[in-house]
Amino acid sequence: MHSELVAPRSADPRDSQDTRESRPGSRTDSRNGAPHLDAVSLAIIEQLQEDGRRPYAAIGKAVGLSEAAVRQRVQKLLDQGVMQIVAVTDPLTVGFRRQAMVGVNVEGDVETVADALSAMSECEYVVMTAGSFDLMVEIVCEDDDHLLEVINKRIRAVPGVRSTESFVYLKLKKQTYMWGTR
Amino acid sequence: MHSELVAPRSADPRDSQDTRESRPGSRTDSRNGAPHLDAVSLAIIEQLQEDGRRPYAAIGKAVGLSEAAVRQRVQKLLDQGVMQIVAVTDPLTVGFRRQAMVGVNVEGDVETVADALSAMSECEYVVMTAGSFDLMVEIVCEDDDHLLEVINKRIRAVPGVRSTESFVYLKLKKQTYMWGTR
DNA sequence: TCAATGGCTGCGAAATCCGTAGAGTTCCGT
DNA sequence: ACGGAACTCTACGGATTTCGCAGCCATTGA
């Protein structure tokens, strides 16, 4: 259960004449409930990716819509879970000085293990993968002791975890939140 | 050059009587320029992690500060780059249906390669690591063809890239933006 | 054809944002 | 110890934004 046949949206800023067609997110047409987004909603998201607090009127001016229309669309996008507007921080600044990516190999049901790891607050990011790891997990810790405890005590203790391999972060070079825009 | 002797801030939610001490982020005391955050700023960030558009007055009421004070602190946090307030989306919804983590081994200067990969728009996340990979790179693509091109043509073509190993995402289980809070 | 639905616009009222002035602290150097 | 500089907080009025709602128009489907 993946893959879908949604028409790929044009991410080209030039074609704005097709702007006034096709409802924004009417049909939830992909099986995971993800609605298809039109160019205007994409443009709104793009605005909010630059500044999550940008006023609706300013966004409306940028995308060619009234303030109220932008407000309604944003509310719908939030309600649908298509996007969320949040503060993101640099972990180092906030007191978490050790991060690592951990590759996990599983015996038995991978999703069960994934759920168990997702329940741990130190696991920031959990994804099931194809390749030499079944799971990749990003963990965020306060110091080396904390990191050691999480990896060697908590993660390895989860039933079904066969082995792990750790990649301690030395330096974060890039991190964007520009999905859907370039 | 790493490690530092900054007094570790108390992450304990209980001690709120120390709330009115020590300037928020005066001294940029860690060598990477990251300011030390006090409990109030942490609380503000926590509020904005729940809702990036929450009004300053509401935040002030929650953390025990006036509206203007919250506004000034938020502005400073943004200016300092400690946090940013942005819209984050589900890549699948926005038309990117293939994601992968790629482990990279490098010959020569790792940072040079990291910079080159960071310049690629498909690379969402680039981090230098210790372990059997020198770099971990998360890439976001529209479809399989796009993914193949990025991995086999673009990434491998970067001078200094010795080898890569790919982990195609099957299912994203968890993704939080709650750094610094739980 | 007609009713229902969904999206957009245009208001007025309420709430929020913004700039700034003034006061209280801490931290220097003299 | 005495100023002064640098910070941060509060208070407050005006500009801006948000919010709710009524009306209009296009599309859809019976």
**How many CA atoms does the CB half-sphere of B106 hold within 13 Å?**
27
Structure tokens at A107: 């015996």
Query: In Å, what is the separation between the CA of B22 and the C1' of C30?
Result: 26
* Residue appearing with tokens 């690629």: B120
Specify the DSSP class assigned to residue B106: E
CB of A44 lies under 7 Å from some atom of strand D: no
Whole-prediction pTM value? 0.80
Query: In Å, what is the separation between the CA of A77 and the C1' of C9?
Result: 20
Q: Where in chain A is the domain with CATH 3.30.70.920?
A: 98-168
Residue ranges of the alpha helices (H) in chain A? 39-50, 56-63, 67-80, 110-118, 144-148, 156-157
Question: Please, what is the average pLDDT of chain A?
Answer: 83
Cα-based distances in Å from A154 to A123, A161, B38:
11, 11, 29
Q: Quick check: A104 and A135 in contact, CB under 8 A?
A: yes
Nucleotide nearest to B59 (CA to C1'): C16
Using the beta-carbon criterion (under 8 Å), do B90 and A34 form an inter-chain contact? yes
| pLDDT tens track, chain B, 182 positions | 322 222 222 222 333 333 334 456 544 444 444 557 899 999 999 999 999 999 999 999 999 999 999 999 999 999 999 999 999 988 878 888 999 999 999 999 999 999 999 999 999 999 999 999 999 999 999 999 999 999 999 999 999 999 999 999 999 899 887 654 54
Using the beta-carbon criterion (under 8 Å), do B53 and A52 form an inter-chain contact? yes
Structure tokens at B84: 């940013």
Specify the DSSP class assigned to residue B86: E
Assess whether pLDDT exceeds 90 at residue A158: yes
Torsion over CA: A26, A127, B49, A48 (sign): negative
- List, in sequence order, every beta strand (DSSP E) within B52-134: 83-89, 98-106, 123-130
Amino acid at B110: V
Residue whose CA lies closest to nucleotide D16 C1':
A55
CB of B129 lies under 7 Å from some atom of strand D: no
**Residue-level pLDDT at A166:** 98
Structure tokens at A41: 């909603």
Q: Where in chain A is the domain with CATH 1.10.10.10?
A: 17-80
To the nearest whole Å, the CA of A172 is away from the closest chain B CA by: 4
Amino acid at A39: A
Contacts of B179 in chain A (CB under 8 A): 88-91, 94, 96, 124, 140
Strand C: which positions are within 7 A of a protein CB? Answer: 6-11, 15-21
Pick the CATH number of B98-168 from 1.10.1370.30, 3.30.70.920, 3.40.50.920, 3.40.50.2020: 3.30.70.920
Q: What is the pLDDT averaged over residues A41-58? A: 97
Task: Please indicate if any CB of chain B lies within 8 Å of the CB of A25.
Answer: no
Contact map slice: B 97-136 vs A, CB within 8 A: 97, 100-101, 103, 111, 114-115, 117-118, 121, 123-133, 136
**How many CA atoms does the CB half-sphere of B26 hold within 13 Å?**
3
- The CATH class given to the A17-80 domain equals mainly alpha
**How many CA atoms does the CB half-sphere of A179 hold within 13 Å?**
24
Q: Report the alpha-carbon distance of residue A55 to residue A61 in Å, rounded.
A: 10
Q: Report the alpha-carbon distance of residue B22 to residue B84 in Å, rounded.
A: 23
Nearest to A98 by CA among A158, A172, A176, A153: A172
| Three-state DSSP class for residue A53 | coil
Contacts of A4 in chain B (CB under 8 A): 97
